[in-house]
């Protein structure tokens, strides 16, 4: 990973994100989003409502693409892409992104403005905003790259699975470098949908807490530049983070609930270890999916303990950012990379009393530690699972 950028409820950019993680701050606030009237907390990105796209990209103007653009403007990411184009050429840089709802809010707002015959307004551009491919179309145009591009929409595993896609595309010679990541923004369909499933917490979410009562929805965007670890890219490597392995699995168990025994999660993690050529003892910390639902945390705990035992430090950062759904993979990959480069384990804001029935070594407060390898989990509805292992280059 030669460059990365992020925007979430913790703020925009890596410095703001790192400061919040170190201090244990949370971006979750009482819901005041749009017309939503629900007793819950959200991770809304500050200042996003004031962000505007360049007029040249007007057809892509929706909350999701504005969020993506806000992230791309952070952390020197665009200059890093320009340097990569000089190394490889624009046609050799692929774009592999993830999202779950894309520009859904734009469609919801257009629906309110339909005419007496039920027709959507003429200014609604489905392909530019709501289409799942919209974000890849927008990012390739913004960064002026022309390699292969696709979007993965696999619920909350989306932006972890793109790391595997990018690795395969680079290994097969389809491209020399890849932009991975994506965005998921707040919309009414998501909020009322999770409320209908009775999964929303009434306060800030409390992963692995004995009194946890559900998740907090957030929004975020993040991107990373992946390059072969060869002579052309080594000069560009900053502190140094390598993608060591990615594992994927599918429960095919239930539309919205994981297998209670965590079998799909365990298989995903096992495959990531196999791809990285590592045994469980080589992992220094685990970033849990940890959404704070009763069944989800319990299933992941069972999977982690059965594979790693009870000593490997684990934590969930959902109490910082909320569950950013399709963007959670890239957000937590960036956090995992910061754990490696900055040598610390993030804590778990709002988790007060750890559930005594859960056995993993759950970390509630941020603490310093030498971290060489992190495994990060992303598990989505429908049993779509992905696990990513990042490691230090030194």
Instruction: Report, as residue numbers or ranges, the catalytic residues.
Output: 156, 289, 323
Q: Tell me 120's DSSP state.
A: P
CB count, 10 Å around CB of 280?
A: 15
CA distances from 190 to 6, 66, 85, 281, 296 (A): 22, 18, 37, 38, 18
Contacting residues for 163 by C-beta, under 8 A, at least 6 apart: 180, 226, 243, 246, 329, 333, 386, 388
DSSP 319-349: HHH-B-GGGHHHHHHHHHHHHHHHTEE---T
* CA dihedral sign, ordered 242, 135, 52, 93: positive
* CA dihedral sign, ordered 58, 143, 168, 264: negative
Strands annotated E in 236-342: 241-250, 285-287, 313-315
Region label for 216, one of left (φ > 0), alpha (ψ between -120 and 50) or beta (otherwise): beta
User: Which residue is listed with tokens 């993608």?
Assistant: 243
Q: Which two tokens stand for residue 383?
A: 């049993």
User: Which residue is listed with tokens 């050429």?
Assistant: 89
Contacting residues for 319 by C-beta, under 8 A, at least 6 apart: 26, 28, 204, 205, 206, 207, 216, 292, 348, 349, 350, 351
Exposure pattern of 97-121 as b/e (b: 16+ CB <10 Å)? bbbbbbbbbbbebbeeeeeeeeeee
Q: What is the dihedral of CA 296, 319, 373, 390, to 10 degrees?
A: 80
């Amino acid at each position: 990973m030669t460059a990365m950028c992020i925007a979430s409820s913790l703020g925009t950019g890596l410095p703001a994100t790192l400061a919040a993680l170190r201090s244990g701050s949370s971006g979750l606030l009482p819901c005041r989003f749009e017309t939503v009237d629900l007793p819950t907390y959200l991770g809304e990105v500050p200042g996003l409502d004031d962000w505007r796209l360049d007029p040249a990209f007007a057809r892509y103007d929706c909350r999701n693409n504005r969020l993506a653009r806000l992230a791309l403007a952070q952390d020197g990411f665009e200059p890093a892409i320009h340097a990569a184009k000089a190394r490889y050429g624009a046609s050799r840089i692929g774009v592999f992104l993830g999202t779950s709802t894309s520009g859904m809010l734009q469609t919801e707002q257009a629906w309110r403005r339909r005419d007496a015959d039920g027709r959507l307004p003429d200014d609604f551009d489905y392909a530019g905003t709501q289409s799942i491919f919209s974000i890849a179309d927008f990012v390739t145009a913004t960064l002026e790259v022309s390699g292969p591009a696709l979007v993965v929409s696999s619920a909350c595993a989306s932006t972890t699975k793109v790391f595997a896609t990018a690795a395969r595309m680079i290994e097969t010679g389809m491209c020399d470098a890849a932009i991975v990541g994506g965005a998921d923004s707040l919309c009414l369909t998501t909020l009322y949908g999770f409320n209908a499933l009775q999964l929303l917490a009434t306060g800030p979410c409390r992963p692995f807490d004995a009194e946890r009562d559900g998740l907090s929805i957030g929004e975020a965007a993040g991107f990373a530049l992946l390059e072969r670890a060869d002579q052309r890219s080594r000069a560009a490597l900053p502190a140094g983070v390598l993608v060591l392995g990615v594992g994927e699995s599918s429960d095919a168990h239930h539309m919205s609930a994981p297998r209670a025994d965590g079998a799909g999660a365990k298989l995903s993690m096992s495959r990531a270890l196999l791809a990285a050529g590592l045994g469980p003892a080589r992992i220094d910390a685990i970033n849990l999916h940890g959404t704070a639902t009763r069944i989800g945390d319990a299933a992941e705990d069972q999977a982690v303990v059965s594979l790693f035992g009870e000593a490997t430090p684990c934590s969930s950062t959902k109490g910082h950012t909320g569950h950013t759904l399709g963007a959670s993979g890239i957000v937590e990959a960036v956090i995992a990379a910061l754990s490696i480069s900055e040598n610390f384990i993030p804590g778990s804001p709002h988790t007060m009393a750890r559930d005594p029935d859960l056995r993993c070594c759950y970390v509630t407060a941020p603490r310093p530690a030498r971290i060489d390898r992190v495994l990060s989990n992303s598990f989505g509805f429908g049993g779509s699972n992905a696990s990513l292992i990042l490691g230090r280059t030194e």
